[in-house]
Structure formats: structure tokens, C-alpha cells
Amino acid sequence: MGGVPSTYAGTTDVLTLLVLLTEFAMLRAPLLRSQIRLYAFQSLVVTVLAIVVAASRHVPELYALAAVTFVLKVVLVPGLVLRLMRKADTDLAGSSVLGVASMIMIAILVSVFGFVTVTTLHLHSDVLPTPTLAISVAIVLVAFVLIILRQDVVSQAVGFFSLENGVDVASLVVAAGLPLVVDVAFLFDLLVAVVVFGVIMRVHHGRSNTLSTHDMDRLRG
Amino acid sequence: MTASSVLVAIVIVPFVVSVATFFLPVRMSKPLTVATGIAVFVLSAALVPRVLRAPIRVGGTLQADALSVVFLVATAFLYATTAIFAAGYLHLEAGRSGTRYGRLFYSGINLFCWAMVVAPVVNGIALLWVAIEITTVISALLVAIDDTEAASEAAWKYVLLASLGLGIALLATIVMYYAGTATFGPAYNLSYAKLLAGAHHFPPAAVRLAFVLAVLGFGTKMGLVPVHTWLPDAHSEAPTPVSALLSAALLAICFYAILRFYQVTERTVGSTYPRDVLLVFGVASLLLAALYLLRQRDLKRLLAYSSVEHMGILAIGMSFGVQLATIGVLLHVLSHAAAKGTAFFGSGSIVRKFGTKDMGRIRGGIGALPWSGPLIVAAILALSAMPPFGIFRSEFLIVSGGLSDPHDAVAAILIVLVTIAFFGLSWFTSQTMLSPDPRPGGTPDKVVGTPDQVVVTRGEPSVWIVVAMVIGLGALLVLGVHLPSQLSQLLDQAARELGGRR
């Protein structure tokens, strides 16, 4: 490619990286509440990204998508999870298997691995002038680290939602022209998934009186 | 009725019934669900001759070619038989079937089946993803519906792992979309016809990435090793009708999604690459499942691992890249659906009779269950590929296809591992079903096994269960002994759609 990146490429790069950095912040956030607030912030960045893509690539449908994203992911989903936590009223600090430093180290290694792997595939084209795809794979991998190393249902659910944000970043930049119907179907599915996660979290809490997944080891073999 | 209206009816009717059963009392939901299941199966079968003439398209969203109809018929068959089985199974839940549980159960089952019949007939990989995601959320709730600690643990693992897998599958869909932008420009839809028409010009690296992500993502829900870990838990803790649907229908639907990616990938980069990917996952699944089958004590987990085994066989069968083996794979989808459904119905009968899934505590099953006992033995033998049942025929086709390349050792590995799995399954059969009857008045001096085994009286829990099992075994016999000619043409045509050497 070479040359100075365009304003569009620069802006999307910054926003995508911001999503990745938020993912790291979620990894080190000790309190579940702050983790959920970080998720809301991350979703806000995704909303801004949708507006930027809509404006610079002239895809007016993406404005509608940005609005739906904002309502669902910045307001509704964090609100639902926070409400659930108020009801549960226990285990406010998340439980991680490793210390913060080791978790961050693992996440850095994993995200570098994802970034380098996808970059070496040389997927650049006119449609994709940025390393967004590589960064979003890194976001997905860090979300996996978060889910694996945290042992409570809230962190794991929020980890999944943020993984979905990572895929969303890719779909906005890589597949901006995806029909709006499909985008909305994706979001609707997310909403349903949130409700189902909520229901099962409540069932789990009602059964075992904890949000921890530590005792989820009876089924094996 | 025209082909399009049949297709539209298949997509609309179960959804309407699902809404209706949420409000109706259970005694009305029961016959309504059975009637709907049978109607959907009849309609799906009616599509077979029509799709042989030409693919069916309804607007931009629905389409059915031979490949779709194979999976549609398998799912609809399970819908019908599971509805019959559930009518008997739920009746035995004392005090439960008349309550909120019954309404949620029937509404959920119908909605789950709706999502599964919609998945093979939507047009395009994006809509397919949406349909499969819907199956995940509904079935996760159905796994948790029993509201026990084990069920909530299983449901949590299932919903988390399956959602993560589908997150990866969504990434695969987006990468595939990106691959198409080089040919079609930045805005187009992901319909199959469009993808297949342009696939020759797609950038190979992007398509390869999309295929691996799709196998990993949809493979999580299909139960491919090493991303199968949710499967035995969810299958064993769900109510048995849900286990049957998960195991016999849903896993195959996820395989269908992988096949759709396979079609595109094969046109872009040739068949060697996607075949190798499937081979690795297939052998790993078959190996691990065969070993776990040898040491399993929980009846429903045994059947769950048998599903992992059969999904491995499907992946290996596709990896041969020979049309004979591909026909075998598609026949295997049908016969596995019938055999696994029947085996789970039988396990429901056993669990109801003995009140336990622990095979160490079940003895003399064939004596206690005069009808379903022998039927269970037959179903398990069918699952381990005994003639004259359908799985024997499909595995025979797969192995013959694999042996057409004399330097390829994979067919030999397949035979060895399937034999190990056969040992595991037949050990179960002889231990629990064919063992001496421990009933008082039997021959107590010959009783073997642990002292805590359950003693029961002779008799069937429900006639509905027996009816469902007879239908399943009947279908297996038809598939194994004499394929109806239209069905055989359907399999041929679907295999041609998937490509491969003649």
C-alpha cells in the first residue's frame, strides 16, 4: 500500500484499537460492575465506528444500525446485567484464576499471535485498506482469554458479548455493504442471547446461590 | 400445491403452532404437536420429487436444492417421531404435564424444530447463521428446563460454548463476505447461487480462512473434537425428547452449514484443502469418541459420545472426496437421525422404568421392557452399523469410497475405530439389556452386578414410546434394505452438488 493512510483508514484504525484496549481493561478490571461499564464504553466505540463508516463510505443504512447498536449494547444489555447483579447481591469482585500481570501477559501474547497470523495472509484490498480484520481477530482471542481465566458467570457472559463486539468491528469495516436485514438479524440474535444468558444465570444463582462457576465440575467423563 | 407454497408452509406452520402451544393446555398441545410434526414430514417428503426437477426458490430468502432437502427430511422425520415420543414421555412426568412446565416444553420443542427446519431452506450463509443461532438459544433454555443443578451447569456450558462457536462462525461468514467483495463490489447478498457463481474468482487466502473458521465455529455445535466438550453434558441433562432432537437433528444441521462453506471453498481452492481440514477433525472426533464409549457408565452420555463418533464419520466421509463416499455421508445423515432418535427414545423408556441413567444399576432390561427392550437392542445394533439397518449401508458406501484410493490408510483407520466403538456399545447392550433378570421370582442365584441395582416390575412405561421406536426402526430398515428410487436419486443429486471424483 504505502503512503500516508487516509483519514478514514486512520480513524477506523484508532477506533478498532480502542476496542482492543477496552478488552484489555476488562481483563484487568477486578469489579464486575466496572467490567460491565467498560463493556458499555466498548459498545459506544463500536457505535461511533458505525457512524464513521456510514459517513465516509456513504452507507446510510449503517446510521440505523448505529442507533440500534447504541440502544441495545450501550443501554439495554449493560442495564439488564447490572439489574441481575443487584438482585443477586453477592460476589461483587470477579474471580480470576491468575494474577492480573500474568493475565495481561497471556492476552498480549495471544493478541500478537492473532494479529501476526492474519496479517501474514495478505488480505488487503481496496475494500479493506486497514488491518481491521487482524485487530478484530486479536479482540476475539483476548475475549477468549477473559472467558477462560474468569470463573464467574457475569464475567463469562460479558466476555461473550465483547467477543461479539470484536466480530461487529470486523463486519462494519470489512462487510459494510452487508444487507441491513442481516445486520439487524445479528443484533436481534444478540438480544435473544442476552435474555437466555440472563435466564440461565438466574437459574444458576437460584440453584447454587453464587455467581461463581467454581462448582460447575460435577459433569465430566 | 406448488413447490413454493409447500416450502412456505413448512416455514410458517411450526412457528404458528409454537405460539399456539404456549397458550393452549397440554392435552391439546400434545395431539397438535404430533399432527404438526407429521404434516411437516409429509410436506418435506413431497418436496423430494419436485426438487429433483429443479431447485425451488421463493423470493430472495428461501431456497431448496437436493442438499437442503436431504437435511430437511431428516429433521422433519425427527420432528414427527419426537412429537410422538414426547406425548408418552411427558405424560409420565407426574403432576408436571398440566402446568407451566408442559406449556413451556411444548412451545419450546415446536420453536426448536421450527428453527431447525428453517435452517436448511434459507438462502445464504448469513441467514443460515441466524437460524442456527436461534436453535442455540432455544435449545439452551430447553436443556435448563428441568431446573436441577446439573441441568443449569449443562445449560451454562452449552450456551457459552455454542455462542462462542457461533461467534467464530459469524467471523467466518464475514470473511466469506469479504472474499466476495473482490468480485461483486462492496454491497451484495450472500445467497448460495451468487457465492457459487463467483467462487472461482475469490481470493484463496480469505476463503481458506473462512473455511477453517467455519469448521471450528459450526464444528463446536456439531460436536467435533476438540470443541465438543459441552455435548455430553447437555445431552445427558436435557429432557430426553430434547436430547433426541439435539443429537439426531441439530448436529446434522451444523454439518450442513459446514457443507455450504465446503461447496464455496472447493470451487475457489480445489477440494484438497477443505478435505484435509475435515479429515483432521473427523479422525480426532472418531478416536476420542470410540475411547470414551468403552468406559461410559451413564446411558445418555454413552449415546452422546456415539453422536460424536458419527459426526466424526461424516467429516471423514467428506474428506475422501469421492462421490460414492459423499452419497454414503448423506445417507448416513438420514440413517443416523433415525437410529439416534430411536436409541434416545429407548433410553427414555429405560430411564422412566428404572429411574436412573447409571448403567451399573440397570439389569435385565429386556425382561422388564417386553417391547421397548428388544427395540433398544435393535437400535443400538443399528447404531453400531449392523445389517440390515441403514447405517450399515451408509458406512459401507463411505468405506468403499475411501478404499477406492488404495494408498489411503484412512479407510482402514475408520474401520478400526468404528469397531472399537462397536465394542463399547455392545458392552452396554449385554450388561444392561441382555443380563439375567434380577426380579424376585426370576433366578436370584444368577444375579450379577452391584447390590444397589434397581428392581422393577415387567411392563411398558408408555405405548407412545414404543410407537415412536417402531417408526424409527422401520425407517432404518427401509434405508438399509431398499432405498426408494426417488430418495436414491435425491442423494445422487445432492452428492453431485457437493462435487468430488466419480
pTM beyond 0.80: the answer is: yes
pLDDT at B208: 93
Band (pLDDT 50/70/90 cuts) for residue B103 is confident
Residue B79 burial by CB count (10 A; 0-12/13-18/19+): exposed, middle or buried?
A: buried
By Cβ distance, the residue of B126, B156, B297 closest to A204 is: B156
User: Do A177 and B149 lie within an 8 Å CB cutoff?
Assistant: no
pLDDT at B96: 58
Chains A, B: CB contacts within 8 A come to: 146
Pick among A200, A217, A218 to test the B interface (most B CBs inside 10 A): A200
Please report the ipTM that was assigned to this predicted complex: 0.90
CA dihedral B323, B326, B328, B333 (to 10 degrees): -160
Residues in chain A: 221
Band (pLDDT 50/70/90 cuts) for residue A140 is very high
Digit-coded pLDDT (tens) for B412-445: 889 999 999 998 888 888 888 887 765 554 444 4
The answer, yes or no, to whether residue B469 has pLDDT greater than 90, is yes
**Residues 6+ positions from A26 with CB-CB distance below 8 Å:** A35, A38, A39, A42, A146, A158, A159, A162
- Residue B241 preceded by cis peptide, ω within 30: no
Q: Which residue of B has its CA nearest to A120?
A: B205
Cα(B214)–Cα(B212) distance, rounded to whole angstroms?
A: 5
Q: What is the mean pLDDT of residues A104-132?
A: 81
Query: Which residue, chain included where needed, has cell 460454548?
Result: B161
Q: Kindly report which listed range (A23-27, B24-28, B70-74) carries the lowest average pLDDT score.
A: B24-28
Cα(B406)–Cα(B43) distance, rounded to whole angstroms?
A: 43
Q: Assess A30–B contact: CB distance below 8 Å, yes or no.
A: no
For B470, the grid coordinates are: 417402531
pLDDT at A13: 86
For B103, the grid coordinates are: 406449556
User: Do A207 and B148 lie within an 8 Å CB cutoff?
Assistant: yes
User: Do A199 and B154 lie within an 8 Å CB cutoff?
Assistant: no
User: Do B164 and A219 lie within an 8 Å CB cutoff?
Assistant: no
**Residues 6+ positions from A103 with CB-CB distance below 8 Å:** A27, A28, A96, A145, A149
The answer, yes or no, to whether residue A179 has pLDDT greater than 80, is no
For B155, the grid coordinates are: 445449560
Q: Assess B360–A contact: CB distance below 8 Å, yes or no.
A: no
User: Do A200 and B140 lie within an 8 Å CB cutoff?
Assistant: yes
User: Do A196 and B140 lie within an 8 Å CB cutoff?
Assistant: yes
Digit-coded pLDDT (tens) for B43-95: 999 999 999 998 999 888 899 999 999 999 999 999 999 999 998 888 766 55
Cα distances (angstroms) measured from residue B252 to each of A158, A198, B120? 30, 28, 10
Q: Which residue of B has its CA nearest to A203?
A: B152
3-state secondary structure of B384: coil
Chain A residues with CB under 8 Å of B140 CB are 196, 200
pLDDT at B474: 95
Band (pLDDT 50/70/90 cuts) for residue B327 is very high
Chain A residues with CB under 8 Å of B163 CB are 160, 193, 197
Digit-coded pLDDT (tens) for B107-154: 999 999 999 999 999 998 989 998 999 999 899 889 988 878 888 888
- Measure A76 CA to nearest chain B CA, in Å: 19
Backbone angles phi and psi of B274, in degrees to 5: -65, -30
User: Do B177 and A175 lie within an 8 Å CB cutoff?
Assistant: yes
pLDDT at B190: 85
Chain A residues with CB under 8 Å of B187 CB are 59, 176-179
Q: What is the 3-state secondary structure (H, E, C) of A116-130?
A: HHHHCCCCCCCCCCC
pLDDT at B449: 47
The answer, yes or no, to whether residue A4 has pLDDT greater than 70, is no
In 3D, which of B252, B234, B304 has the Cα closest to residue B76? B252
**Residues 6+ positions from B408 with CB-CB distance below 8 Å:** B320, B402
**Residues 6+ positions from B273 with CB-CB distance below 8 Å:** B208, B211, B265
pLDDT at B99: 75
Cα(B436)–Cα(B430) distance, rounded to whole angstroms?
A: 10
By Cβ distance, the residue of B144, B150, B186 closest to A218 is: B150
User: Do B298 and A122 lie within an 8 Å CB cutoff?
Assistant: no
